[in-house]
Amino acid sequence: MENKEISLDRLPIGTRASVTSIRSNGALRRRMLDLGVISGTEIEPLYTSPSGNPVAYLIRGAVIALRSDVSSKIMVSA
């Protein structure tokens, strides 16, 4: 099976993937790196809020909510 790179906001709920890159600079990039979102980190979307935004993700054993404008800048490979 071919590993396809997609943005994190397009990853289906319950599907695990590995971070390949962060397409952002400045404070947003620093925040993601501080949360442990680095290349190779396994990440899984757990559930969405009733409005659909934000989405709760399992990252390094912690549940973290990210808005779609942030998760769209994180590239993953399923």
List pLDDT tens digits, range 43-61. Answer: 999 999 888 889 999 999 9
Number of domains in the chain: 1
What is the rounded CA–CA span in Å between residue 20 and residue 37?
10
What is the model's pTM?
0.88
Radius of gyration of the chain (CA): 11
What is the rounded CA–CA span in Å between residue 63 and residue 57?
5
pLDDT at 2: 57
Q: Which domain holds residue 52?
A: 5-77
The CATH number that applies at residue 33 is 2.30.30.90
